[in-house]
């Protein structure tokens, strides 16, 4: 009969730690392959605009600054697919593992 095996597991669960990770007090680190917040190497960017053209969510706009034309990523629209990283000819966009992206205002999501 199987009922005893399930009861045994339910009983032993009483003495184990809960499986929930208490988030704000204990933070899990995702694996290195995780697709989180982008890391932009501004000195490598040449302003070609390929990242903006290929973005499936239309989240990247090229903005002229005194350092040249740089991409600005709207994290509210971004789907974190990292096609921009694949297509960049200079490796100026890289994958990061930061997942804490919440802001108070929507405008702050547009990463300068």
Partner 1 sequence: MSTTKVIVGPVHPALHEPERFVFKVDGEVVVDVEPRLGYVHRGIEKALTERSFTQGLYLIERICGICNVAHTLAAVQAIEDAFNVEPPKRAKYLRTIVHELNRIHSHLLLLGVACELIGFDTLFMLIWRDREAVMDIIEMVTGNRVMSAYNIIGGVRRNVSDHEVLEMKKVLEALVEKVKQYKEVFAEDPTIRARFVDVGRLSRAKALALGAVGPTARGSGVKVDVRAEEPYAAFDEVPLNAVVYEEEDSWARLMVRIDETLESARVIEECLDKMPTGPVRVRVPEVAPQSSEGFSVVEAPRGELLHHVYTEKGNDKPLRYRVRTPTYANIPSVCEMLKGGYVADIPAALVSIDPCFSCTDRVALVDVRTSERVSVDLLTLARRYWR
Q: Name the residues that contact partner 1, by CB under 8 A.
A: 1-3, 5-6, 9-10, 19, 30-31, 33-35, 54-57, 79-83, 86, 95
Nearer to partner 1, 42 or 53 (CB): 53
Beta bridge partners of 73: 60, 111
Smallest separation, CB 43 to partner 1 (Å): 26
Q: Which residues contact 89 (CB under 8 A, 6 or more apart)?
A: 46, 48, 50
In the chain, DSSP finds a helix count (H) and a strand count (E) of 3, 5
Smallest separation, CB 98 to partner 1 (Å): 14
């Amino acid at each position: 009969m199987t009922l005893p095996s399930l009861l045994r597991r339910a009983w032993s669960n009483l003495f184990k730690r809960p499986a929930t990770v208490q988030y704000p007090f204990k933070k899990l680190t995702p694996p290195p392959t995780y697709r989180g917040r982008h890391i932009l190497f501004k000195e490598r960017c040449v302003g070609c605009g390929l990242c903006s053209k290929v973005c499936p969510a239309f989240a990247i706009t090229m903005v002229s600054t005194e350092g040249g034309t740089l991409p600005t990523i709207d994290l509210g629209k971004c789907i974190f697919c990292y096609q921009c990283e694949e297509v960049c000819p200079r490796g100026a966009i890289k994958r990061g593992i930061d997942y804490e992206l919440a802001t108070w205002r929507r405008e702050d999501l547009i990463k300068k």
